[in-house]
């Protein structure tokens, strides 16, 4: 699959636009993206959105007070996924530097290829795809909830993945489920059926479905704080299956509790095995390609 086949179809730059005062999703156009420069604003020249075909912003948010897996955990997982994506799709993907597999534990300032918060809609509408992960419970303020809803209704896509480490539980998953149900109404979070396109568009994961990461070996993860009584990081997915929010026929939010992001960190297969690493990467690529083509 080449840029001619895929990237020209999805264009250079997708924006979430307003038309007639109503929020609409930006159509994927072969002619390319529109400009983010508004009337009266200075044009400071090309930025990352001009130079690259795809960025994967992390959502920054406030966790409840627990030490593990904050919003910026393990940028090496993001880096691995983006590297694998660029090798498959052969488009200009902005890389994440100085991050690989499980290192570093937390991203440094400016290390991720983009960071956004739900406080300001104008910061969100530059990006058609957002990634959010963690392990703790969290809550959104009313303004953040309103911006989340507006972002999704305008055509944005949000991937939310809970990676459970050590003695933690599926706290991030539960908070995300509750948030989506509050924002989009009770019952809005639905099971994504195995026949859905997201499991088949680039890689056929029909037999696998949503990959589940469970630790296969007792090899410690470098840098991971481990309890004294055990050298084993004890990483395990909480398999609630693939869940999502649909706007009409479009899957607009993908919620996973099976440790996809942790799977992306394990390119050597030391924790989950190479097979599971490949499946986690394939699922990530499928989700990205679905999001930017719908």
pLDDT computed for residue 240 by the predictor: 83
pLDDT computed for residue 163 by the predictor: 77
CB atoms closer than 10 angstroms to residue 289: 22
Measured distance CA(284)–CA(290) in Å, rounded:
10
pLDDT computed for residue 20 by the predictor: 21
Token pair in block for residue 102: 């499980």
pLDDT computed for residue 28 by the predictor: 29
Q: Which fold has domain 7-27+48-223+232-291?
A: Rossmann fold (3.40.50)
pLDDT computed for residue 72 by the predictor: 92
Q: What is the pLDDT of residues 204-251, one digit of tens each?
A: 998 778 998 877 655 455 555 544 333 334 455 577 889 999 999 999
How buried is 161 (Cβ within 10 angstroms: 0-12 exposed, 13-18 middle, 19+ buried)? buried
pLDDT computed for residue 250 by the predictor: 97
Which residues of the chain register pLDDT less than 50? 1-45, 219, 226-234
- Predicted model pTM: 0.81
3-state secondary structure 197-218: HHHCCCCCCCCCCCCCCECCCC
pLDDT computed for residue 271 by the predictor: 86
User: Which single residue is written with the structure tokens 């929010």?
Assistant: 245
Domain locations in the chain as residue ranges: 7-27+48-223+232-291
Nearest to 177 by CA among 121, 138, 120: 138
């Amino acid at each position: 699959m080449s840029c001619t086949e895929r990237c020209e179809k999805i264009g250079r730059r997708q924006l979430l636009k307003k038309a007639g005062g109503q929020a609409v999703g930006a159509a994927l156009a072969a002619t390319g993206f529109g400009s983010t420069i508004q009337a009266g604003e200075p044009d400071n020249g090309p930025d990352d959105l001009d130079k690259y075909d795809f960025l994967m912003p992390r959502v920054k948010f406030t966790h409840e007070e627990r030490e593990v897996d904050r919003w910026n955990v393990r940028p090496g997982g993001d880096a691995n996924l983006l590297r694998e994506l660029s090798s498959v799709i052969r488009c200009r993907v902005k890389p994440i530097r100085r991050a690989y597999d499980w290192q570093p534990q937390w991203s440094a300032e400016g290390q991720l290829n983009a960071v956004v918060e739900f406080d300001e809609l104008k910061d969100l509408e530059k990006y058609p795809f957002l990634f959010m992960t963690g392990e703790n419970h969290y809550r959104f303020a009313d303004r953040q909830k309103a911006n989340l809803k507006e972002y999704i209704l305008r055509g944005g896509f949000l991937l939310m993945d809970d990676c459970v480490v050590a003695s933690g539980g599926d706290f991030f998953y539960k908070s995300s489920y509750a948030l989506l149900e509050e924002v989009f109404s009770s019952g809005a979070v639905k099971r994504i059926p195995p026949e859905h396109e997201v499991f088949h568009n680039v890689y056929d994961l029909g037999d696998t479905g949503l990959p589940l990461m469970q630790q296969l070996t007792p090899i410690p993860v470098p840098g991971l704080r481990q309890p004294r009584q055990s050298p084993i990081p004890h990483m395990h997915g909480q398999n609630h299956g693939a869940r999502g929010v649909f706007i009409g026929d479009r899957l607009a939010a993908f919620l996973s509790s099976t440790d996809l992001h942790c799977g992306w960190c394990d390119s050597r297969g030391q924790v989950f095995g190479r097979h599971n690493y490949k499946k986690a990467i394939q699922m990530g690529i499928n989700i990205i390609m679905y999001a930017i083509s719908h």
